[in-house]
Structure 1
């Protein structure tokens, strides 16, 4: 099976609504590896690697997020998979 990867940016009212946690749960259920992290107060970055159909399912989810999220802008680019990830993680800035 061919591995695919994306780097996505999500903007909107996505802090404090469980966006990172729910993205982690969804990606883990889909068998996707990579990470989700806040890149600013109203922006989240996602890097995800996995089977193309699973990545496409995650893309659909990222555009909506959990119930209380308000996604205002969503973009992603297909990137080369690195296979550096062992699981999907939430990265916290220190």
Structure 2
């Protein structure tokens, strides 16, 4: 299992991005969370196999139809938190 953190920039708040990310993450089978950040971006932390994380990354680069994704930054997740499900955080 791998853990990645994605920062998603663009028009990604107020457009249902967190909900649609949660729905896609559950479909893909990753665990972790999605939350809005104060700078207008969305942070996604996900744990799963390499292929699951690749599928999530590809989806994040497009996002839902309501969003305009300008860029996605991918980093290794260095935190120690473990996850049992995928959740939406405030």
- Same structural fold, with TM-score higher than 0.5 when normalized by the shorter chain: yes
SS in 2 for 1:90: strand
8 Å CA contact 2:25–2:86 kept in 1: the answer is yes
* Cα-to-partner distance string for 1:13-54 (whole Å, 9 max, x where unaligned): 111211100000010111100000001252000000011101
Please identify the structure whose Cα radius of gyration is greater.
Answer: 1
**Separation in 2 of the partners of 1:30 and 1:80?**
22
State how 1:27-38 maps to structure 2 within 5 Å. Answer: 27-38=25-36
Q: Would you tell me which structure has more strand in proportion to its own residues?
A: 1
**Separation in 1 of the partners of 2:19 and 2:12?**
11
How many residues matched? 90
Residue 83 of structure 1: CA displacement? 6.8
8 Å CA contact 1:5–1:81 kept in 2: the answer is no
8 Å CA contact 1:4–1:50 kept in 2: the answer is yes
TM-score, normalised to structure 1, is 0.87
Query: Are 1:7 and 2:5 an aligned pair?
Result: yes
Farther off after superposition, 41-50 or 82-91 = 82-91
Aligned alpha-carbon RMSD (Å) = 1.6
**Separation in 1 of the partners of 2:85 and 2:30?**
7
Runs of 4+ in 1 over 3 A off after TM superposition: 79-83
